[in-house]
Amino acid sequence: MADGVHRIPLPLPNDGLRSVNVYAIADGDGLTLVDSGWALAEARQRLEDALAGIGHELGDVRRFLITHVHRDHYTLAVVVRRLFGSRVLLGAGERESLNLIINTDASPSAVYRRLLLRCGALPLLERMRRNWPERDQGGEWEKPDAWLDGTQEIALGGRTLRAIPTPGHTRGHLVFADLGHGLLFAGDHVLPHITPSIGFEPARPPLPLWDYLGSLRLVRSLPDLRLLPAHGAVTGSAHARIDELIAHHDRRLDATAGVIRAGASTAYEAAGALRWTRRERLFDDLDPFNQMMAVMETAAHLDVLVRQGRLRSSAGAPGGEPAGSPGGQATAAAGGEGAGGPGGELARGLPVGDVVRYQA
């Protein structure tokens, strides 16, 4: 890639994304890795082979800098740490989601079910009943050695990485900027060929897309850097891709407002009226898992439209801030079925139990 930086694509089991990029960076006589891959035997073997190709072994990995808590980025680090004692660092914003994943009493899928009910997606929940367990199993989950909180500089031998919180894809997502060498280790915040999913996490915040757009603007305000994404090829300009992503979400917000004006009232109905993927597929042609992602993506857009004052919602303004238009109510505080239990934290700012309806 560049002096002392190596891109190592590792395999994924899904039919969707083919691989995840791990970046190995020379760090003294050892290595620091950005992201780790999915805890699969095949991925571990591929990582060992790739490290051997650059004169290293797995035990040389001193440290993992993890961009976010999704299993394709985080879980192999836990396995390597058990063997060699590498340090694992993760964004502090992931704490709540990781607690929910580790805590066997709080099933993340229960969280998604509640979100989908809010979206009016009961028929989809019925369809998903069988698919859910397979998609949700596996992985190695333990806490990191340290939480990276706020923006901070991380010194490697010969370079400095700036860890920058970029909430949106997940609430604790980090990018690592190497300003001295003009490199952006972008995780899933900026991907070259697809738009990252928004807020697919157990501790979903009230306005994940609002957070995401703010994080895009934040990285756009840095000098333009080479884009080193977690999925897909390296490209020359992070700025160019960020501009495309912002334009995509602008179009998507307009289209989402349009289907509400045309009569859809819930996130589920709106998702059903929109087209999906670059191939403009019908909602009904997606598999149930991707229908779930589509409904949650639509809800994220609807809540931004409410925040912007372009739509009104039966739940009032999301995010616990004053509504953008008169007549909005304050967001329901933690209450209903989520309060008190493991989901209580989650429910903060998220009205639960009722289907949320939107109107222009």
Interacting residue ranges for Zn ion, rule: CB under 5 A: 72, 188
DSSP 2: B
Least CB distance to Zn ion at residue 184 (A): 16
Q: Which residue's CB is nearer to Zn ion, number 21 or number 331?
A: 21
Nearer to Zn ion, 72 or 303 (CB): 72
Length of the chain: 360
Residue 226 forms beta bridges with which residues? 183
> At a CB cut-off of 8 Å and minimum separation 6, what does 200 contact?
70, 169, 170, 293, 296
235: DSSP letter: B
Closest approach, Cβ 3 to Zn ion, in A, equals 26
CB-nearer residue toward Zn ion: 19 or 86? 19
In the bound state with Zn ion, the residue whose beta carbon lies nearer, of 186 and 317, is: 186
- Nearer to Zn ion by C-beta: 65 or 356? 65
- Residue from 41, 231, 49 nearest 140 by CA: 41
Q: Could you give the C-alpha distances from 13 to 43, 130, 138, 291, in angstroms and in order?
A: 10, 19, 11, 20
Least Cβ distance, residue 163 to Zn ion (angstroms): 18
The neighbouring-strand residues paired with 162 are 153, 177
**C-beta neighbour count of 244 within 10 angstroms:** 13
Minimum CB separation of residue 132 from Zn ion in Å reads 20
The minimum distance between CB 131 and Zn ion, in angstroms, equals 20
Residue 132 burial (CB count, 10 A): 17
188 or 303, CB closer to Zn ion? 188
Q: To which residue do tokens 């791990």 refer?
A: 22
CB of 35 to Zn ion, least distance (A): 8
Which residue of the chain is nearest Zn ion when measured via CB?
A: 188
Residue 10 bridge partners (DSSP):
20
